[in-house]
Chain A
Amino acid sequence: MKIFEKLAHIDRRYIYILIAVVVIVPLLMKPNLPIIPTKPVEDIYNYVENLPQGSNILISIDYDAASMPEQQPFLEALLRQCFRNKLKPVMIVQWQLGAPLGTQGLEKIAKECNAVYGVDYINLGYRPGYVAQMVGIGREIRDYFSVDYKNVSVDSFPIMKNIHNYNDFELLVGLEAGSTYLLWVEYAGGRFKQKIALALNAVSAPDAYYFYQSKQIIGLVGGMKGSAEYEVLEKRPDLAVAGMASQSYSHILIILFIIFGNIAFFVEKNRKRKEGGK
C-alpha cells in the first residue's frame, strides 16, 4: 500500500507534466476521435440554417481573452454559416476587452467569404450600460449605437436601413463568459420575446441548460466541445476540433487522478485508524 501513500503525496509538478503531455501529444498526432453534435447545438445550427436570406442576426461579444479558445471557434463557425446563407450579422460588444477579439473574428471571416462591410455585416463596437442598453435596443438601437466601431454614423450603411429594434433581428446570439447572458434572457428574452441562442464558456454552461429546457433559449453551445460540434455541423473542422482530442485524453487522465486520489485517501485513512487502534 506504500504506492498509494506515495501517490497521495506526489509533487504536483509531475501532474502538470503529465497534463502537458496529454495535451501536446494529441495536438501533434491529430488522432481522429468522433465528435457527435448534441441537440442543443444542432438546434442553433438548424435554426440559423433555416432563416430566410437577408435576415439580421445580432451577435453580442460578451467574453474576453480568457475565454478565447472556447468562444472564438464558435464565432468563426457561426459567421461562416451566416455569410454562406446570406444572413447579416450585426456585432455589438458588452465586454470592453472582447472588442478586439470580436473585430478580429469578424474581419477574418468576412474577408474569407468576400462579405462587404456595411452591406453584408456591421460592427457596432462596445457600449457601456448592460441593462439600460439591452432595454434601450428594444426601443431604438440608434439610442445606443448611433455610430459604428470606427465612429461612422450607422445611417450611412445600407445594412442599418431597416434595423431599429429587436423586431428586426431574427436571432440574438450571445457569446458569453460571465453572467451577462442572464440579462439577455431577462430583458431581451423576457420583456421583448427576442429569440436567443447562447454560447457559454464551459464554467457557465451548466447553469444555463435550464433556460434551454424552459425554451427561453433556442439552443446552447457549451465550451470548446460545443464549438467543436458547431464546426463539425458547418463541415469546417478548425481550432475547436483540433483541441478536442487533447480535451478527451486530459479528461481521462483527470478521472484517473480522481480515482487514485480517492483510493489513496481511503487507504491512508484506514491505515491511520488501525495505527490509532494499536
Chain B
Amino acid sequence: MATTIGIWIAAGLTLFIYSFLYKDNPFYKFAEHLYVGITAGYWLIYTWAYTIQPMLLDPIIKNKEFILIIPAFFGLIMLTRWFPSISWLSRWSIAFTVGIGAGLGVTGSIQGFILPQLRSTILPLTGFDFATFNNLLIIFGVITTLVYFYFSKEHKGLLGHGAKIGMTFIMIAFGASFGYTVMARISLLIGRIYFLMFDWIGMLFGK
C-alpha cells in the first residue's frame, strides 16, 4: 500500500514538473517549492543525525571529550556573519578553514594532479603505429592549448597559429562535453518516462 501511494505521489509530482514545458503554472510551482522544502528538511535532519549529534553532542556528553568544544566554538562563531557588529569573529573560523584547505590542496594537487598529468604527457614518439600518432596528438594538443592561454605576448605569427590550433582543440573538448550533456539530460528524461510507463501506468493495469 505504501509503495502504491509513493508511486502515485512520484508520478503526480513528475507530471506537475513536466507541465512547465507547456507553460508556467501553479502545479509546477507547488512541486518546485515542495522539492526545495523537502530537500532542505532532509539536509537538516542528516546534518543533525550524522554530524552534530554523533560527532559533537554524543562525544561531549557521553565520552566527556571536552576538547570538541573548541571546534564547536569555531563553528558557532562562523554564524556571527549574520551580525555586522561582531561579524569579524567569523574570520577566525574562515582563516582556519582556508589554512587547512590550502595545506591539503597544495600537497594533494601536486601528488594527485600535476605530477601524474605531467608524467602522462611525456610520451614515446618512436614507431609508426596508431599509438604513436595518438601520443603525438596528445602532446601537440597540450602544447597548443597552453599556447592559447599564454597572454603575455600578442597572438601573432607562430604564436597566433599555435593559439588558433589550441582553440580548435578546446572547441573539440567543448563539443564532447556538450554531446555528453545532451546524453545526460536525455537519460534523466528516459528514467522518468520509464517510471511513468512501467511503474505507474503498469501498476494501473496490474502489470
Contacts and interface: CB of A to CB of B under 8 A. Distances in A.
Given A190-B116, A210-B117, A70 B184 contact: yes
A27 B109 CA distance: 44
Interface string B50-91: 110001000000000000000000000000000000000000
A256 interface: no
B177 A191 contact: no
Nearest to A223: B183
Contact of A224 (B47, B183, B193): B183
B104 to A, nearest CB: 6
A69 to B, nearest CB: 3
Nearest to A205: B180
B187 A190 contact: no
Given A27-B197, A214-B119, A214-B120, A223 B184 contact: yes
Contacts of B113: 185-186, 190
Interface stretch (B38-46, B146-154, B162-170): B38-46
A8 interface: no
Contacts of A110: none
B180 A215 contact: no
B109 A243 contact: no
Contacts of B189: 19-20, 23, 250
Given A27-B194, A213-B138, A96 B184 contact: no
Contacts of B117: 210, 214
Contacts of A81: none
A166 interface: no
Contacts of A187: 104, 108, 112
A207 B112 CA distance: 15
Contact of B187 (A96, A126, A202): A202
A202 B46 contact: no
Interface string A202-232: 1101110010011110000011110000000
A115 interface: no
Contacts of A131: 104, 108
Which 6 residue pairs across A and B have the least CB separation, nearest first? A69-B191, A190-B112, A214-B120, A186-B112, A202-B184, A190-B111
